[in-house]
Chain A
Amino acid sequence: MTTLTAATPKSVLTGAHFLDGDQAACEGALAAGANFVAGYPITPSTEIVERFASRIPTVGGVFLQMEDELASSIAIVGAAWGGAKVFTVTSGPGFSLMMEHLGYAAMTETPLVLVDVQRGGPSTGLPTLPGQGDMMQARWGSHGDYEIIALCPNSPQECFDLMIDAFNLSEEYRTPVLVMMDESVGHMTEKVVIPEAESIKIFPRRYTSLPPSEYLPFRPGADGIPEMVKAGDGYRIHVTGLTHDEKGYPAMNWQTQKTLVSRLVKKIRDNGDRICRWEEHQTEDADIVLVAYGITSRVAQHAVKMARAEGLRVGLLRLIVAWPFPEKRIRELAARIHSFPVVEMNYGQMFYEVERLAGSTVRTELLGHGGGMVHQPEEILQAIREAAK
């Protein structure tokens, strides 16, 4: 397979559509040039692979339903090294099973996208109802040290847009990228505008131009990121999840570990400012800034409107990229506001990031619950009133 350098009209359904978030995410992936999915059904993510299975044969590519999430999450890694542009999708229980290969992809610097349409947990939890309890698992779920990129759309339109961004980030940084949806965003239907193929920017795979005699598969470029080849190109590469040197050979010592793992961490951490994305509503004069993401951000935005009607000086910081976390911006705001309520469908995950960065200077508060239903604007409003006292 070849990875495209530009979106092709065949894969891009240019025009205005009425799609749910799952379907829009699939269209975003197709627009980004995804041509290989290995999937395993799980509510509430299944519609993404159903649509891909239906669409890809007419676009050109492969869909394969695997025997489990362990298989689907490693089959896409294999396909990526075969030259394909790949993703898979899941929800909580499957996300847990995929952690092994999230780590493998991070370690082998395999570009791929993994979508988690979050439902209530733990365990099988609430298959058909929303949750946001996988946010820290997204950050820390696989063992060992690595940095991750995680995006969290709050509308079907953004599911489309952020899937393209996710693929581009995965190619740019050669890393797995997570798209952390939630059941509500996945299953809500709204207008989605798909642009012309020519206007979609695609970050091409970083294929090397060096001949095999000069190429080392894990030698980083000036930006800390190595160039890639695919199997069959005559480079005879070795790829392993073991700690490896620039040749890709295993090396069981602390020096190689330090060189490799610090680079994996730094290539994301040092680019945090470029990767971080958020959106602010009415934070200019705010004393209170809500922090929210995904479906919860839409309820929070409504609560801000209600509170403003009462004359309360409140704003919203919506995370578009959850990881890396916008540390600098939270610290800046903390210098001038007095309260950071964090609204999320869990018992405290992104909240701890806000507390870590701002807890010593401003009041931080968690408005959390375990999922199953979205917050009511009134309960957020009540919390804003309390914070304003």
Chain B
Amino acid sequence: MSTLPIVNPVEPFLRTDRMPHIWCPGCGIGTTVNCFARALVESKLPLEKVAVVSGIGCTGRVAGYVNLDSFHTTHGRAIPFATGLKLANPDLSVVVYSGDGDLISIGGNHFIHAARRNVDITVICVNNFIYGMTGGQVAPTTPLGATASTSPYGCYEHAFNLPFLAESSGAVYVARWTAFHVRHIAHSMVEAINKKGFSFIEILAPCPTLYQRRNKMGDGLDTMKFYKERSIIKNGARTHDVDIDLQGQITVGKFVDIERPTLQQSMEQQLRHTLRDQYAGMGGD
């Protein structure tokens, strides 16, 4: 009897020649990448037609590890890069994969405008509540009272509620999970990638090195237990009501799944309506 070599099913999706990765033990980002690989398997998309765009930060390094066309761009600008990429090459499934500081702080303006336009891209935001790569500074997602290196006496600014921000800006698909919910994440990723329009998934993930440690929340495993205990799945919950605080309940689930014309559809419809047979299209092949 011959034995088949054991290959991890996600390995073909990774640039294994770049391992080991930079992420710390207990970090949740790798978990989400594992989910992403499984989502790609499930989606059955041709991999040469999937592109990943990242900004800067720990999650921004995802683009460097996935074995796809991948772009590691500038801080906060993954979304407008992805917008240009998608419109120039509409056959691509474009996935923006970045962190909360990158997407929502320095890139916040691009986030709301891409959602408003309903650009047909998927945005995956790994939210670890702080700036990880630079050493654990306070972020616009840091819960009130949480300690960070630049909020040493506790954060006194209100955090963004990301699903609410995404929905009110115009996103057609909004979900939130924690790194504990691996099957839900993968399932949501498949839905989001297949969704026409601006789809958004927030994934709460531990940063044991800089967030959990400083806030005496234990290690990666403790955080998984915390997520398991505190998370309540409420599909269809009002995004207005899904704020996160330091120790309280975490509402997860799929909150928004609606239909609205994408930027490309609206553009082509309007131009065709006005220019009729003069309209020459988007310049495709």
Closest to A4 in B: B283
A231:B69 contact, CB within 8 angstroms: yes
Is B64 a contact of A231 with CB atoms below 8 Å? Answer: no
A62→B109 contact, CB < 8 A: no
Chain B residues near A234 (CB-CB < 8 A): 48
- A77 adjacent to chain B (CB < 8 Å): yes
Known: A101-B74, A231-B69, A234-B48. A82 touches B280 (CB 8 A): no
Q: How far is the CB of B271 from chain A (nearest CB, A)?
A: 5
Across the interface, do B81 and A74 meet the contact criterion of CB distance under 8 Å?
A: yes
- Indicate whether B281 reaches chain A with its CB closer than 8 angstroms: yes
Given contacts A74-B77, A234-B48, contact A38 B67 (CB under 8 A): no
CB pair A58–B275 under 8 Å, yes or no, is: yes
Q: Does A164 lie at the interface of the complex (its beta carbon under 8 Å from any beta carbon of B)? A: no
Residues of B236-285 whose CB lies within 8 A of A: 267, 271, 275, 278-285
With beta carbons under 8 angstroms apart, the residue of A36, A57, A70, A100 that contacts B84 is: A36
Q: Which residues of A contact B109 (CB under 8 A)?
A: 67-68, 71
Query: Which residues 94-134 of B sit at the A interface, judged by CB distance below 8 A?
Result: 109-110, 113
Q: Which of A167-175, A199-207, A237-245, A375-383 contacts B (4 or more CB under 8 A)?
A: A237-245
Would you call B88 and A36 a contact (CB within 8 A)?
A: yes
Are the CB atoms of A60 and B282 closer together than 8 Å?
yes
Provide the residues of chain A in CB contact with B49, threshold 8 Å: 232
Is A230 located at the chain interface by the 8 A CB criterion?
yes
Q: Are B86 and A232 in contact (CB under 8 A)?
A: no
Q: In the docked arrangement, what's the CA distance between A101 and B75, Å?
A: 10
User: Is the CB–CB distance between B85 and A82 below 8 Å?
Assistant: yes
CB of B87 closer than 8 Å to a CB of A: yes
Query: CA A76 – CA B18 in complex, angstroms?
Result: 28
Per the CB 8 Å criterion, the residue count for chain B at the interface is 46
Please tell me if B63 contacts chain A, counting CB pairs below 8 Å: yes
| Contact string against B for A residues 1-12, beta-carbon threshold 8 Å, 1 for contact and 0 otherwise | 110000000100
Contact with A along B216-252 (1 / 0, CB 8 A): 0000000000000000000000000000000000000
Contacts of B275 in A (CB 8 A): 57-58
Contacts of B282 in A (CB 8 A): 1, 60-62
Q: Do B280 and A241 touch (CB < 8 A)?
A: no
- A-chain residues with CB within 8 Å of residue B68 when the two chains form the complex: 236
- Tell me how far the C-beta of B144 lies from the nearest C-beta in chain A, rounded to whole angstroms: 29
Q: Which of B45-91 contact A (CB under 8 A)?
A: 47-49, 51, 53, 63-64, 67-74, 76-77, 80-89, 91
- Report the number of A-B residue pairs with Cβ-Cβ less than 8 Å: 165
Q: Given A78-B85, A79-B88, A236-B48, A104 and B283 touching (CB < 8 A)?
A: no
A82:B89 contact, CB within 8 angstroms: yes
Q: B86 and A82: CB pair below 8 A?
A: yes
The reply to whether B89 and A1 contact each other, CB–CB distance below 8 Å, is: yes
Instruction: Take A68-B109, A233-B48, A240-B72 as given contacts and tell me if A250 and B87 are in contact as well, using a CB distance cutoff of 8 Å.
Output: no
Q: Is B179 in the interface zone, CB < 8 Å from A? A: no
Which chain A residues border B72 with CB–CB below 8 Å? 238-242, 250
Closest to B69 in A: A231
Chain A residue with Cβ nearest B91: A232
By a CB distance below 8 angstroms, the chain A residues around B84 are 36, 38, 64, 74-80, 82, 84, 86
Contact A79/B91 with A71-B80, A236-B69, A240-B72 known, Cβ cut-off 8 Å: no
Q: Are A38 and B48 in contact (CB under 8 A)?
A: no
A237 shortest CB reach to chain B, Å = 6
Could you tell me the distance in whole angstroms from the C-beta of A341 to the nearest C-beta in chain B?
Answer: 41
**Nearest residue, chain A, Cβ from B72:** A240
Out of A36, A104, A230, A237, which one reaches B73, CB within 8 Å?
A: A104
Residues of A contacting B17 in the complex (Cβ-Cβ under 8 angstroms): 249
Known: A10-B280, A67-B110, A81-B71. A74 touches B80 (CB 8 A): yes
Besides A71-B77, A240-B72, 12 new A-B residue pairs in contact (Cβ under 8 A), listed by A number: A2-B285, A57-B271, A59-B280, A71-B83, A71-B109, A77-B73, A78-B86, A82-B89, A230-B89, A238-B64, A240-B63, A240-B64
Sample 14 A-B pairs with CB under 8 A, ordered by A number. Answer: A1-B284, A2-B285, A36-B283, A62-B282, A68-B109, A70-B110, A71-B110, A79-B85, A79-B87, A79-B88, A82-B84, A231-B71, A232-B49, A249-B17
